Structure 1
Amino acid sequence: MSRPQDPHRPSFPFGNPFRMIMPKGSYLSPKLTELLNSFEESLAQRLRMLMPADREEILSLLWMKRAVESLSAIHTDIKTLITGLELPVSDWDEKWIDVYLDNSVKLLDICIAFSSELSRLSQGHLFLQCALHNLDCASSKQFVRACSSLDGWRQHIGSKNPRMENCFSILDNLIKTLNLPKIKNSSKGKVLMRAMYGVKVVTVFVCNVFAAAFSGSAEKLLDLQVEEIRLWAEAFAGLQGFVNGEIRSIYSSGKATVLKELEAVDANVKKLYPIVQEGVGEEAEAYKNSVSDLGKRAEKLSQGLDLLAKEVDGFFQIVLSGRDALLCNLRVGTNVTDQLQEKKNVEVR
């Protein structure tokens, strides 16, 4: 299939204004430059919107939900760019297709792991509900049951999900493909690969932050380096530095989790537990307030987990639909090629 030819290279008496867009020796037509700039500026804006207003916002479930929303929007943006490039799948290099399909499978696996962890954390809400039910009654028997439920919650939350460890190995493999494949003799291909590079970097960053948050350790938190020529590089560096720095600070202080809503519930449980164990006594007012706070925080945690789980599922569907669309186009392209070949064979006879 023939592809439209880019216009001849124009002459710029004051230097080439597109030189900063692509590395030296590369050339993009004004139309391709506009498409690439539009994509990268949109990516930069999405990153700036993810910058937390303060430290308390980092790793709140609301911020995590916004992060997944941004990933969904960015992956939708790349589909729009591909349409604008008018680069049919039949013109894609096999290397591009192989890398895309391989990466999409890895992303789906990561989404499944995150959904598993969110479901596990949500199950802990049952322990809190049982505890709150028993704390409504001021009998020693009910207090014993409440203590048992609180113990159960802390053990459940403190357990490890083996799927999280697998996430880090998947992310390591994704990082190895960040700069692949190399493109030759295709302006549209270079635009596509440069845009996909941005998508992959931001996706790896967000997924790595989530994995570190869910695993309870900053040991495998990554610091990705991006060339300054990218229009989104400054926004990315600022966001990554701020978020990663705060996560490392939280874990170095000895806290078991960086998830704000989970930390709030845990702090409340630690405060309430000794009061229940020793008997309310003179601390009736503090006890009443603690029970009320636990109920509110537990509900906020539960709702936040549900909303984030729905957003992760939505991102899963976007990645899956993109993969399915590519496979469908490949099959259509193969069928067309086969039909043309059959026609040629008939004509030869």
Structure 2
Amino acid sequence: MSRPQGPHKPFLSFGNPFRTSLTKGSYLSPKLLASLNYFEESLAQRLKKLKLADKEDVLSLSWMRMATESLCEIHSDIKSLILALELPVCDWEDKWIDVYFADSVKLLDICIAFSSEISRLKQGNLYIQCVLHHLNNASSNQCVRTCSSLDGWSKHIGSKNPKLENCFSVIDSLHQTLDLPKIKNSSKGLVLMRAMYGVKVISLFVCSIFATAFSGSSNKLMDLQVPDSCLWGVDFNKVRTSVNTEIRSIYSNGKVTVLKELEVVDMGAKKVHLFVQDGTESVECDVLKNAALDLENAAKDFSQELDLLGQDIDGFFQIVLTGRDTLLHNLRIDGNISGLVPASNNAKDQVVR
């Protein structure tokens, strides 16, 4: 899954996020200010869950699951905020609506790409099952069949996923719209845009890590900077620095497979391959038997974690999709919204694994 390591292009600047914040003459009622502060304090708490207890955790499927769960909570929070603000249509401009719906479509497309990669990795596990089957099936061509399946595994995990490749351009386009539209004469709009800015930054950060983990390239890792004036800014910057530093350290060591659970399976497969090539053809041989057992356990753990991550990403997909519906209903609009971006063709159907 490795990709050529080109020069890193940091994402250090994305305009002034507080074009959408409180301008001169703006006023937030105590209720609106309390809603905004509560939302941003919640963001800070969600981010604290992503702090690394162990630096080895950063590109593990278990950490990725935790990150997905945090994203689900954050997007549920913004949906609750939309309901609490009770926005009438007069508080919205078409451009704001277009930005929100365009962003949500991009997130749905990113989810589809990640689900596709999870499905591809699960298919790779079939090669490992074939390896274990051949080792337990004493025959004259046991060695040849085992080596063939191991070669198939190696080629599969090193292949490219077109949907994942396209995901990079979607993430880039999402990044380019971080500078949200300027808001005039709408205190509720100010609150919502500032909240949406936080959701967008954290979504981009997590998605860039996932794309990095799945693709085998750190080129698209984002160094997003958030002002400390945000109630969640300090926590975000700490987590971003810690996580990105560890990821770059992992890639600097030249690892081909960076997903922790995938690396364990791959190491186990290479160990079995070495024994078989050396002529240790019988699974009754203790050294090969132990290697096969280790490979079986690693593959089982990898498969289970992939299943759980896939379920979490499906859950995030549904939250984003229902968030669009919540906003549509809450706008109380008769007729069509000008420029509304439809969900992708796959949006209403879960990706079949």
For the superposition of Structure 1 and Structure 2, which TM-score range results when normalised by the shorter chain?
0.7 to 0.9
The alpha-carbon distance between structure 1 residues 133 and 260, as it changes in their structure 2 partners (threshold 3 A), is same
Q: Structure 2: which 5+ residue stretches go unaligned?
A: 1-20, 337-353
Match of 1:173 in 2: 173
- For 1:118 and 1:280, locate their aligned partners in 2 and report how far apart those are by CA, in whole Å: 33
Shift of 1:132: 0.6
What TM-score results when the alignment is normalised by the length of structure 1?
0.85
User: 1:242 corresponds to which residue?
Assistant: 242
- Give the ranges of 4+ consecutive aligned residues of structure 1 lying more than 4 Å apart after TM superposition: none
Per-residue CA shift, 1:101-131, capped at 9, x if unaligned? 1111111111111011000000011100010
User: Distance in 1 between the 2:315 and 2:188 partners?
Assistant: 29
* Offset at residue 139 of structure 1 (A): 4.5
Shift of 1:329: 5.1
Q: Aligned residue for 1:47?
A: 47
1:346 maps to none
Instruction: Note if 1:334 corresponds to 2:334.
Output: yes
Cα 1:39/1:329, change in 2 over 3 Å: closer
Letter in 2 for 1:173: S
> Are 1:108 and 1:316, in contact at CA under 8 Å, matched by a contact in 2?
yes
Q: Which residue of 2 aligns with 1:190?
A: 190
* 1:300 matched to 2:268: no
User: Aligned AA for 1:279?
Assistant: G
Q: Aligned letter for 1:292?
A: L
Asked whether 1:208 is paired with 2:202, we answer no
**Structure 2 residue identity aligned to 1:291:** A
In 2, distance between residues paired with 1:111 and 1:23? 33
1:54-65 equivalences in 2 (<5 Å): 54-65=54-65
Deviation at 1:286, TM superposition (A): 2.4
Shift of 1:272: 1.7
TM-score normalised by structure 2 residue count: 0.85
Deviates most, 209-218 or 313-322:
313-322
Matched, 1:323 2:324: yes
Tell me, in whole angstroms, the C-alpha distance in 2 between the residues paired with 1:89 and 1:24: 22
Q: How many residues align?
A: 315
Determine if contact 2:79/2:326 at 8 Å carries over to the other structure: no
Render the CA deviation track for 1:51-108: whole Å, top value 9, x for unaligned.
1211121121111111111111101100111222222345322111000111111111
CA contact (8 A) 2:143 2:281 kept: no
CA contact (8 A) 2:95 2:181 kept: yes
Task: Out of 138-147 and 230-239, give the one that drifted further.
Answer: 138-147
How far apart, CA to CA, are the structure 2 residues paired with 1:89 and 1:307?
Answer: 39
Aligned to 1:97: 97
Alignment of 1:1-349 (within 5 A): 25=24, 26-280=26-280, 284-328=285-329, 333-334=333-334
Cα deviation, residue 137, structure 1: 3.7
Taking only aligned residues, the RMSD between alpha carbons, in angstroms, comes to: 2.1
Q: Distance in 1 between matches of 2:281 and 2:156?
A: 30
Distance 1:37 1:102, change over 3 A: same
Higher helix share: 1
- SS of the aligned residue for 1:334 comes to coil
Give the secondary-structure state (helix, strand or coil) at the position aligned to 2:285: helix
Contact preservation (8 Å) 2:27, 2:187: yes
Aligned to 1:9: none
Maintained 8 Å contact 2:82/2:327? no
In 2: Cα distance, 1:75 partner to 1:88 partner:
21
The sequence identity of aligned pairs, in percent, is: 63
Decide which structure has the larger Cα Rg and report it: 1
Contact kept? 1:89, 1:326, Cα under 8 Å: no
